[in-house]
Amino acid sequence: MSTSQEGRADSGGRHTGGAQTSVRTVTCANCGRTNRVPAAAQGSPRCGNCRAPLPWIAEAGDADFREVAEQASLPVLVDLWATWCGPCRMVSPALEQVAERLAGRIKLVKVDIDKSPGLARRFEVQAVPTLLILDQGRQVARQTGAAPANALRQWVDESLSAAHGSVDPASGRP
């Protein structure tokens, strides 16, 4: 699975950077086709060719966090990180791996706290990385510090199960 972030130019050829225009290209793990996945949209992304769920990974800041994360139809794993933080750089690939494995079930939103001090204050970030799970805009879990992908996946599954009652993480059913 490969992803890359790209911007989009508006009709006047100017580069725009808001949530409505932030797009990441994702290669479908099922059929290999490249897809454009917007940072904010209704539903969850699916491959335009085979309809398989795609991992939804986006970046957000103070200006667009509401649209990108809080209004998402899926539960959101928020990564509050900083460029100078070694553990943040180490946990980022693990978070992306979790997002890929849970494609269609969660959205991963990365927030650089140095560029988004309002969100750092709002979520009272005292150490990075700080991970949050939001469900319908409401914080249901919080964890500070790096962890391997399997531990992060277990934490996400348990947090979502607790938020939705007793649910089997594999099937999503009670």
Q: Check residue 14 and give its pLDDT.
A: 31
> What domains lie within the chain, and their CATH numbers?
3-163 (3.40.30.10)
User: Do the beta carbons of residue 112 and residue 83 sit within 8 Å?
Assistant: yes
Q: Check residue 18 and give its pLDDT.
A: 43
Q: Check residue 164 and give its pLDDT.
A: 81
Instruction: Determine which one of 28, 31, 47, 85 is catalytic.
Output: 85
Query: 161-169 long-range CB contacts below 8 Å, 24 or more apart?
Result: 163/75, 163/133, 163/135, 164/135
DSSP string over 18-61: STTT-EEEEE-TTT--EEEEESS-SS--B-TTT--B--EEEE--
Q: Which two tokens stand for residue 173?
A: 């059913």
Cα–Cα distance, 62 to 157 (Å, whole number): 27
Tell me whether residue 88 is one of the annotated catalytic residues: yes
pLDDT tens, position by position, for the chain (174 residues)?
555 555 433 333 333 344 445 899 999 999 999 999 999 999 999 999 999 999 999 999 999 999 999 999 999 999 999 999 999 999 999 999 999 999 999 999 999 999 999 999 999 999 999 999 999 999 999 999 999 999 999 999 999 999 887 544 454 444
Structure pTM? 0.84
